[in-house]
Amino acid sequence: MSEPTTKLRIAVVGAGHLGQHHARIAATSPHAASVVVVEPAEERGREIAAKHGAEWAPNLASVLGRIDVVQIAAPTGFHLALGQEALQAGKHVLIEKPLAAGLAEGEALLQALAKARAAHPRLVAAVGHLERFNPAVVALRAANFKPRFVEAIRVSPFPMRSLEVDVVMDVMIHDLDLLLALVGRPVTDVEAFGVPVLTPHPDLVNARLKFEGGAFATVTASRVAQKKERTLRAFGDKAYAKLDFAAQKLELLRLVLGPNGPEVAPEVVDIEEGEPLKLEIEAFHAACRGQGDDVVTWAEGLEAMRVADLVQKAVARSLEELGAGR
């Protein structure tokens, strides 16, 4: 891999719902020298490429020799092969969440990364957990808030996409990653229940997580709700936080000693709104240029997948018990 360059030559793999936004953001980045949209469906690929002044290519192999960065927004089932291909060529890689289609594939990607870094020590590998870059989440983490109990809700109407995975890997994994980052401890116990509604996979799941050290969380994810709700409430030592992901708002209350005794006081939190995906990609590009390391690592992405796997297994057990009890 060559020395960090002033500008990056970028390949965006996948021109679907999320890939089109990767292409848009990459094409308008002041740090991009060129952008190629890699999409096997030629009509769609050419459409998105033309819309953003980019080049179109049918496959990654055809452009690897003239790019620096690969952003993978293809369906999850292709993540392993595409990630390995990019790593073998010594390219920086951003893979959209979930990191891989399963734990074995995620572990294979980590092994491939270790091998690639033996030859390219500065190689950057990130996973696209964009809610880490939501300005409200950034503000909450900056406040050094240590939660003891968290309630996360992430529900929306059926999206008619991502049908190859259940709601845990498609939706809940956002909050599982955030909980791991906020609590800073591993999960020790999981209980969960879920039901398939519109697909063969669970579309509604509620999980209860216990963390090492005693912190506790309940997480609800649904893609069959009538309206969107993406909120998180956290309770800590003499403190309470409520976060609205969509509105990028954070309410922070703390118990303080006032002139007449203890009182609950709101803490002013200044938040500069921004597009989380854009902020995430900008941070990734900065890391690729040797100007920071604010990315969600593949190891962190795999840990979120491990917790998601525990939730999926708990859901499967609950469905088996439900069927046996009928």
| Mean pLDDT, range 22-30, rounded to an integer | 96
- Continuous H helices in the chain: 19-27, 42-51, 79-88, 103-119, 135-142, 167, 173-183, 276-288, 298-324
Q: What is the pLDDT of residue 2?
A: 42
Q: Where are the domains of the chain?
A: 8-123, 131-274+307-324
| Rounded Cα distance, 171 and 300, in Å | 17
Superfamily name with CATH number, domain 8-123: NAD(P)-binding Rossmann-like Domain (3.40.50.720)
| Rounded Cα distance, 164 and 279, in Å | 27
| Mean pLDDT, range 152-180, rounded to an integer | 86
- Look at residue 286 and give its three-state secondary structure: helix
Nearest of 169, 186, 81 to residue 129 by alpha carbon: 169
| Rounded Cα distance, 67 and 33, in Å | 10
pTM of the entire predicted model:
0.91
Question: What's the pLDDT tens digit per position in 84-101?
Answer: 999 999 999 999 999 999
Annotation: CATH topology of 131-274+307-324: Dihydrodipicolinate Reductase; domain 2 (3.30.360)
Which residues are CB-neighbours of 148 under 8 A, at least 6 positions away? 214, 215, 216, 235, 236, 237
Question: What's the pLDDT tens digit per position in 220-266?
Answer: 999 988 889 999 999 998 899 999 999 999 999 988 877 887 878 88
- Going from the C-alpha of 200 to that of each of 25, 164, 178, 245, 294, the distances in angstroms are 34, 10, 27, 29, 37
